[in-house]
Amino acid sequence: MENIYQTLMQLPLFQGVSRAKLLELVEKTRFHFLKYEDGEKVASRATACTHLKFLLSGSIRCEMSTYDGKVRLIQTLHAPDIIAPDHIFGRSTHYPGNYYAEGQVGLMQIDKSTFMSFMQDEPIFLINMLNILSRRSQKSKESLLSISNGDLRERLAYWILNLTSRNATDIHINARQRDLYSYFGVQRTALLNTLAEMKQEKIIDYTINEVHILDRRALRDMLLEGIEFMEE
């Protein structure tokens, strides 16, 4: 229990919650603990998100794609984290991607109604959740308004920032180059020039059908540097 407490306390959702309060909740709540082996599917795209899933140990690979399937975005989330906290409420209460265990994974989940009672019982949960959700909405708006010249760099930065988590690693875009320059609405040469420049600056690396983001923070700084309201 001590371990779980230490892990949960690192999450923004639990920030400010006292140890006593957390223990009290654990006493009276049915937490479900789940284990996954390497490669096992943890959650499927477009299936109902009925529980809040806390990643307690290990890593999870998340794969999203554009609706036409031509551009895929892959990222790896690490414990402690929460899977898709913005998809348990709202209209589309479905997972936005497929989630797979990378190595052994330990999850804890609570159902929506139990989480609701947490928030009513303990205002700190409520404030934390409202902060997390509001922040996502604000981030999208801010980064959109911080675009200044609309070039591929800024558009790529915007796309990555809005679809990946702050602490995600191994961020890859998988797409044929043709689909990639079409998706971003640029010419082939513009795509290749920008990718080459960004590779030079060690922000990305790429092959014929993959872009690997080496430095997400550099993308953030490119878009949001100088803006007073910073990320997450």
Q: Which amino acid is at 193?
A: N
For residue 172, the SS3 value is: strand
> Which tokens in the block code for residue 136?
């996502």
Min dist CB 2 to a copy of itself, Å, is 30
Min dist CB 206 to a copy of itself, Å, is 18
Give the whole-angstrom CA distance, residue 16 versus residue 49: 26
- Which burial class, exposed, middle or buried, applies to 154 when counting CB atoms under 10 A from its CB (0-12, 13-18, 19+)? middle
Residues of this chain that interact with a copy of itself (CB under 8 A) are 46, 64-68, 70, 86-92, 94, 96, 116, 119-120, 123, 126-127, 129-138, 140-142, 144-152, 154-155, 159, 162-163, 182-186, 226-230, 232
Q: Closer to a copy of itself at the Cβ: 66 or 104?
A: 66
Min dist CB 14 to a copy of itself, Å, is 17
Q: Closer to a copy of itself at the Cβ: 9 or 126?
A: 126
CA angle, residues 193, 208, 196, in degrees to nearest 5: 20
Q: Closer to a copy of itself at the Cβ: 57 or 121?
A: 121
Min dist CB 181 to a copy of itself, Å, is 8
Residues near 74 by Cβ (< 8 Å), separated by ≥ 6?
Answer: 61, 62, 63, 64, 170, 171, 172, 173, 174
Q: Closer to a copy of itself at the Cβ: 146 or 174?
A: 146
